[in-house]
Copies of this chain bind each other. A is one copy, B any other.
Amino acid sequence: MTTAAPIYLDHAATAPLDPQVAAAICECLRDPGLQGNAASVHAPGRAAAVRVEQARAQVARLVGAEPGSIVFTSGATESVNLAILGAARAAGANLHHLVTARTEHRAALDACRQLEREGFAVSWLATGSDGSADPAQVASALRPGTALVSLMHANNETGVINDIAAVGQLCLERGVTFHVDAAQSAGKLPIDVQAMNVALLSFCAHKLGGPKGIGALYVRHRPRPALQPLQFGGGHERGLRAGSLATHQIVGFGVACELALTRLADDAARVRALRERLWAGLQAAAPVERNGGTEPGLPGILNVRFPGIEGESLLLSLDGRLAASSGSACSSASAEPSYVLRALGLSDLAAQASLRLSLGRATTGEEVDRAAALLVASVNRLRALLPAGAIERIA
């Protein structure tokens, strides 16, 4: 039995709450003066509203936006859906076409599939073998009836980065609304919605050290993309998102964004170095391959492939000692091989022999070394019982 806490290398699924954020949330939850509804005019309501607006400014700053352009949501899934469903449903009668890529997060894919059911046409771009969407391909997919282009900034499984600024420029020239899913990149890569010509940008707190259950959608002021809300009921959030605001969640999100912005460059350098140290350590389990290329990419993600290894058995070998993901935790209801890795050209078997190791601010060098040793031992143990020829067949 292992009793020590497992090494957590699943930051891309969700990052542990930063202790400063936890302190801010708990202070807020326990402050008798902050218990009101931020929509109420009385003193406790106004006090809550003041904290909400402070946080809105912190959240906005992380992506180079004005505070008034931030709409709070329950997470990145809601933000992505509000952007994609909202923009498409509010688009003019002859704007019935969308452009997106096959390697987007399930939130974007499933929202686009829903729009197909509603009569929209979707151009599903294939990514190159490096995993990124080619701006030239986006350009040639645009039509006079294109209502929206939706792309992720960085991929949640591979960390592969799309050239958002290039696509933004393109959409600006063609007058098409551009939505970016920045759930993985916010707080990890510099983002400037103005410079990148982004109309809508989705992100959430729990991937960057904030609480689960709160996210944001940046909605550009000018020109302001038309959006149909997902939920109705009163004028909250500029009429785009009804519902009482969760003060403590928003306060926590604000603190997390402020911390992330302050530490962005330092964190990125540190985490990137740790990831390379992990990769070096894994060489003792050769053959081992890296999925999704090397650079540029999100600093914290290392997606590796161990030929001859079955993912579920590898995970159970590590269970209780190393927490990692054989894919995106967000879609773990299914056990299908990753469509993201498939899009990189990997076979089903190769995808199943892969593991996503994602590091974060809290990761230490000692953890990385232990993780590498554990992985090498587990891979070697499983390989030792393979039938002859399996390593060659399963890669």
Q: Is the CB of B323 within 8 A of A45?
A: yes
Q: Which residues on B sit within 8 Å (CB–CB) of A244? A: 14, 75, 77, 204, 206, 212-213, 329-330
Provide the bound-state CA to CA distance between A82 and B249, in Å.
22
List the one stretch of A55-63, A228-236, A279-287, A363-371 in contact with chain B. A228-236
Q: Is the CB of B42 within 8 A of A319?
A: yes
We find that the number of chain A residues with CB closer than 8 angstroms to chain B is 81
Q: A6 contacts the other chain (Cβ, under 8 Å)?
A: yes
Q: Which of B36, B45, B78, B232 touches A107 (beta carbons < 8 Å)? A: B232
Q: Which residues on B sit within 8 Å (CB–CB) of A334? A: 235
Q: Is the CB of A35 within 8 A of B13?
A: no
Q: Is the CB of B231 within 8 A of A230?
A: yes
Q: Which residues on B sit within 8 Å (CB–CB) of A349? A: none
Q: Which residues on B sit within 8 Å (CB–CB) of A243? A: 74-78, 107
Give the contacts of A289-317 with B (CB-CB under 8 A): 315
Task: Say how far A245's CB is from chain B's closest CB, in angstroms.
Answer: 7
Give the contacts of A75-114 with B (CB-CB under 8 A): 75-78, 80-82, 85, 105-111, 113-114
Q: A148 contacts the other chain (Cβ, under 8 Å)?
A: no
Q: A345 contacts the other chain (Cβ, under 8 Å)?
A: no
Q: A214 contacts the other chain (Cβ, under 8 Å)?
A: yes
Task: Say how far A204's CB is from chain B's closest CB, in angstroms.
Answer: 8
Q: Is the CB of B29 within 8 A of A25?
A: yes
Q: Which of B74, B81, B206, B213 touches A233 (beta carbons < 8 Å)? A: B81
Q: Quick one: closest B residue to A238, CB to CB? A: B333
Q: Quick one: closest B residue to A239, CB to CB? A: B333
Q: Is the CB of B214 within 8 A of A42?
A: no
Q: Is the CB of B22 within 8 A of A35?
A: no
How many protomers of this protein does the assembly include? 2
Task: Say how far A301's CB is from chain B's closest CB, in angstroms.
Answer: 15
Q: Which residues on B sit within 8 Å (CB–CB) of A77? A: 231, 233-234, 242-244
Q: Quick one: closest B residue to A14, CB to CB? A: B37
Q: Is the CB of B8 within 8 A of A44?
A: yes
Provide the bound-state CA to CA distance between A232 and B78, in Å.
8
Q: Quick one: closest B residue to A243, CB to CB? A: B77
Provide the bound-state CA to CA distance between A85 and B324, in Å.
38
Q: A137 contacts the other chain (Cβ, under 8 Å)?
A: no
With contact pairs A16-B32, A32-B5, A74-B243 given, residues A331 and B235 touching in the complex (Cβ less than 8 Å):
yes
Q: Is the CB of B37 within 8 A of A106?
A: no
Q: Is the CB of A42 within 8 A of B6?
A: yes
Q: A175 contacts the other chain (Cβ, under 8 Å)?
A: no
Provide the bound-state CA to CA distance between A5 and B214, in Å.
29
Q: Quick one: closest B residue to A113, CB to CB? A: B232
Q: Is the CB of A10 within 8 A of B36?
A: yes
Q: A39 contacts the other chain (Cβ, under 8 Å)?
A: yes
Task: Say how far A113's CB is from chain B's closest CB, in angstroms.
Answer: 7
Q: A140 contacts the other chain (Cβ, under 8 Å)?
A: no
Q: Which of B16, B36, B74, B315 touches A74 (beta carbons < 8 Å)? A: B74
Q: Quick one: closest B residue to A325, CB to CB? A: B40
Q: Is the CB of A329 within 8 A of B231?
A: no
Provide the bound-state CA to CA distance between A213 and B30, in Å.
16
Q: A248 contacts the other chain (Cβ, under 8 Å)?
A: yes
Task: Say how far A80's CB is from chain B's closest CB, in angstroms.
Answer: 7
Q: List 20 A-B contacts (CB under 8 A).
A: A6-B44, A8-B44, A10-B37, A10-B42, A26-B29, A29-B211, A37-B212, A43-B319, A74-B74, A75-B244, A75-B246, A77-B233, A77-B234, A107-B231, A107-B233, A107-B242, A114-B232, A212-B244, A214-B246, A234-B333
